[in-house]
A and B are shown apart, each in its own frame.
Chain A
Amino acid sequence: MPDTTVTSPRSNQPADAHAAVYRYDEFDKTFIFERVEQFRAQVERRLKGEITEEEFKPIRLMNGLYLQLHAYMLRVAVPYGMLDSTKLRRLARIARVYDKGYGHLTTRQNIQFNWPELKDIPAILHELAEVDMHAIQTSGNCIRNVTTDQFCGAAADELVDPRVYAEILRQWSTLHPEFTYLPRKFKIAISGAPNDRAAVQIHDVGLIARKNEAGEIGFTVYVGGGLGRTPYLGTKARDFVPVPEILGYLEAVLRTYNQLGRRDNIYKARIKITVNEMGPDKFIGLIEEEYARLPRQKYDLDPAIVTAIEQHFTSPPWESLPAVSDKFEAAKAADKDFARWTRSNLHAHRAPGYAIATISVKPIGGIPGDIEADQMEAVADLAERYSFGELRVSHEQNLVLAHVKQDDLYDLWQELDKVGLGTANAGLISDIIACPGLDYCALANTRSIPIAQRISERFADLDRQHDLGELKIKISGCINACGHHHVGHIGILGVDKKGEEFFQILLGGDATNTAALAEIVGPGFSYDEIVNAVETVVTTFVGLRQPGERFIDTLARTGHAPFKEALYARA
């Protein structure tokens, strides 16, 4: 198999040696190769008819393989969004050799391929295993990818590196003997900073780091959040769980859900339904009873294990740099397009002289989250050149290079721009989350991607986008809400109206610390009307806003009434 590892010119170390990804030991490698062979045998038996589709389906789902409208779809796990350049090059190769030359970044920090063939899946999984990757538990009624803050390990407001605990939870949940056949899928998100960039309150379990009055670090635990047909924000189960106790507490949560979650109705099987049908206080009371019963010495995190895991996520060898880079400042002054990119796509880094760069995978008019194999390879090269070979997939379907010297930002941006990844729109109106929708998904009622594309093109003027400021649009092609429309500042939901595609607008969603579910504003709009309707909402905002207000701030102040009036004035 071709070696995709690149070594640094000055040493024999791989160019991504400092990338903070979990490095498999022999036990891990043996496990995933054995899993590949196990699935290879299962595919062979399926193709020979020795196992039926009914028997095979849960097996293939547990190995990340869906059947969609046009083809199979393989969802590859990217644990807590962390990649290195070696892995990304292998993903590029898989896209090229086994698929149609591209992949899709998902809202759970994974990557999907839309066109693999069943007969090739064992080979794909083998190639993934060669670079410590897999597709285990990216589907099925089990604990899925634990997601986190895309700025982890770099942002100044971080109390604890969430990757350490995301990795612990990953190892705990993989092939967990009790939680492999849960009532339904289970999604965990963890933020290592009090500032929630991981949307924890819309997850089945959400953890946010905080300090207690004694200065100890722990997590606030939310349970029962979720979107889909029946959205709920998570209920706070515990204000503070000390870090060493977090695994035990989650064991108690999962045991309680596993016992009580509904198995009679797939649409009522998520923990959010159980929590709210039973009543949050009662459910949390049951968690506490289970937690009290657990043998704490077995579940409290062994400091030695935590220390061992921490070694995988040490900071890269940052240089000692001045806080301000003259080169960076000069480049901004000289190139207004670059300056604009820095305003939207950079986040402050805790190491002086560095910055966190968001690579927008939302080019104007492009398909949100789709990345070509050539682009993957270009980004892998850039990650090695500018960010220690490390990169992250964000839940907003973008990529992040977390450790870029300010001195290098202009060069980086120019290189990104050459490959169509330099759009200055992170967090702005054209940085849209969209599900695959009817273009790919057998569950969808409407398309969502072309709506995103048309909105992006309508607001193509980047100066206008920057003037509008932070404005998060999220689009789902059906009520399963994979596009997170419930937590969009502007959410768009596709519905089937007598066989025609119609779109409802929702306003006021928020996936951050001030979490809120968006509300439907009124009757839906046709495929031809929806973009005009979005423009009406935006124009209304511009007419109402006060200095310094973002869209979500203006909406909170005015309420929906002026927007509703503007949208339905003709009626």
Chain B
Amino acid sequence: MLVKAKGAQQSITANRLIDGVAVWLGAGNQWVEHVADAAIFEGEAIAQALDTAKADEKGQIVVDVYPLDVEATPEGTRPLHIRERMKAIGPSVRRDLGKQVAGPTPAL
């Protein structure tokens, strides 16, 4: 995480320990593979979500947990920073790889 999250709406992201796949904390504190399904937290809920995520870090489920600024759109949760959108999409130079293969992803 090189861009500190400071917006009102934040999600939580990480990489799965066992395979490195990018994930986001979703409904019911389950980790989801598409950012559109990421839960959006506000206010005190952000810190609580981060605690939940860090517990999963300790529980060998994920690594490199951090919050990111997001917004809600009709297509689902959308990261505000380009790096986080890239994480959610896959390499722009290999459209056959990454999240973009499995379905719709946010525009870069």
Q: Which residues of A contact B (CB under 8 A)?
A: 46-49, 52-53, 67-72, 100, 115-119, 367, 438-440, 442-445, 447, 449-450, 453, 496, 499-501
A69 touches B22 (CB 8 A): yes
A449 touches B93 (CB 8 A): yes
B48 an interface residue at 8 Å Cβ cutoff? no
B19 touches A119 (CB 8 A): yes
- Least CB distance, B88 to chain A, in whole angstroms: 10
Stretch at the interface among B4-12, B24-32, B35-43, B55-63: B55-63
Instruction: Name 10 extra pairs, CB < 8 A, besides A71-B22, A100-B97.
Output: A47-B18, A68-B20, A69-B22, A70-B87, A71-B15, A119-B18, A367-B94, A439-B91, A496-B82, A499-B81
Most chain B CB neighbours (cut-off 10 Å) among A100, A442, A450? A442
- A sample of 23 inter-chain contacts (CB < 8 A) reads A46-B17, A49-B58, A49-B60, A53-B57, A53-B64, A67-B63, A67-B64, A69-B87, A70-B87, A70-B90, A70-B91, A70-B98, A72-B19, A117-B20, A119-B18, A367-B94, A439-B94, A440-B91, A442-B83, A445-B83, A450-B93, A496-B82, A499-B82
Contact pick for A501, options B59, B64, B82, CB 8 Å = B82
How far apart sit A479 and B18, CA to CA, in the bound complex (Å)? Answer: 30
- Least CB distance, A47 to chain B, in whole angstroms: 6
- Residues on the A chain within 8 Å of B59, using CB: 49
B80 an interface residue at 8 Å Cβ cutoff? yes
A439 touches B86 (CB 8 A): yes
Q: Which residues of B contact A (CB under 8 A)?
A: 2, 15, 17-22, 57-60, 63-64, 80-83, 86-87, 90-94, 97-99
A46 touches B60 (CB 8 A): yes
- Least CB distance, B22 to chain A, in whole angstroms: 6
- Residues on the B chain within 8 Å of A500, using CB: 82
CB within 8 Å: A-B pair count:
83
A450 touches B63 (CB 8 A): no
- Residues on the A chain within 8 Å of B93, using CB: 367, 439, 447, 449-450, 453
A67 touches B20 (CB 8 A): yes
Closest residue of chain A to B86 (Cβ to Cβ) is: A438
A118 touches B98 (CB 8 A): no
A438 touches B82 (CB 8 A): yes
A447 touches B92 (CB 8 A): yes
- Residues on the B chain within 8 Å of A70, using CB: 20-22, 87, 90-91, 97-99
- Residues on the A chain within 8 Å of B97, using CB: 70, 100, 115
- Least CB distance, A68 to chain B, in whole angstroms: 8
- Residues on the A chain within 8 Å of B83, using CB: 69, 438, 442, 444-445
How far apart sit A453 and B93, CA to CA, in the bound complex (Å)? Answer: 9
Contact pick for B63, options A53, A439, A445, A501, CB 8 Å = A53
- Residues on the B chain within 8 Å of A68, using CB: 20
